[in-house]
Amino acid sequence: MIRGAAAITGAASGIGRALAIELAQRGADLALADRDEGGLKSLAAEIGAQRKVSLHRVDVGEASDIAQFAREAIAAHPALNILVNNAGVALLGQFEEIDQAQMDWLFDINFWGVVHGTRAFLPHLKTRGEAHIVNVSSIFGIIAPPGQSAYAAAKFAVRGFSESVRHELAAAGSPVRLSVVHPGGVATNIARASRTGIGVTDNARRGQMIDRFETAARTTPKEAALRIIRGIERNEPRILIGNDARFMDILQRFRPGTYWAPLQRRLEKMARGK
């Protein structure tokens, strides 16, 4: 059962938005963070007066923004006991097409945002009788396709960081539990809002990369949110979202060094059948 209040980054759209709505319906108050203030206000209006909701403009790529968010969220919601580090961005292109500044930008949001969020909220969460941290990785934190070197590196890092911290919390007998989430294809706007490597000059190729993302997006944000909530309630250490994520997880277990060739054939078949 969901109790208390939840802080969610990347809450204005996609999985974060759907999760906010579902948690509110289950009785949670909400501290919602995003750079998109218009999206946050729209979400708050949709939730209505059923729950206490605070809105926070936050760039998770800035550690100071996250620290301020934690202070304000805890002040507004003293019973806060759930943190969802969900905010993320995408960067399309081969490794040699991406410059270091672009890779740093992605890591600041997708990895360091998770680390800074965990660090900022953990002291408070440890004071609660029960608390839960949810760190959103990706299926690309389990497999690493070509053209996703920066994104996969960050999402693998989120996975490793989260698993280690979870083991530390358990060993200390902490009331804080931690789940790492690995969504497969979810129908959000992350691909269309993505940046492209500075070396990618072919707009048609960029369109093909986005289409490949969207072809694989078979899960709705609501379905993803419901799966995450079930994972919180069951204290699942790893939450896989979608049949595609479950398939890819199994494939890499059986073929850890050679999974890409059969997976590429499957993805190409899916694209032809779109």
Buried b (16+ CB within 10 A) or exposed e, 221-258: bebbbebbbebbeeebebbbbbebbeebbebbeeeeee
**Annotated catalytic residue 151:** yes
Phi, psi dihedrals of residue 20, rounded to the nearest 5°: -60, -45
Residue 179's nearest CA partner among 14, 13, 19 is 19
| Catalytic-labelled residue, pool 107, 111, 121, 151 | 151
- Burial call 177-211: b when 16+ CB within 10 Å, e when fewer: bbbbbbbbbbbbebbeebbbbeebeeeeebeebbe
Q: Quote the DSSP letter at residue 61.
A: T
| Token duo for residue 268 | 């190409």
Find the farthest-apart pair of alpha carbons in the chain and give their distance in angstroms, rounded. Answer: 54
Q: Is 48 left (phi over 0), alpha (psi -120 to 50) or beta?
A: left
Report the catalytic residues.
151
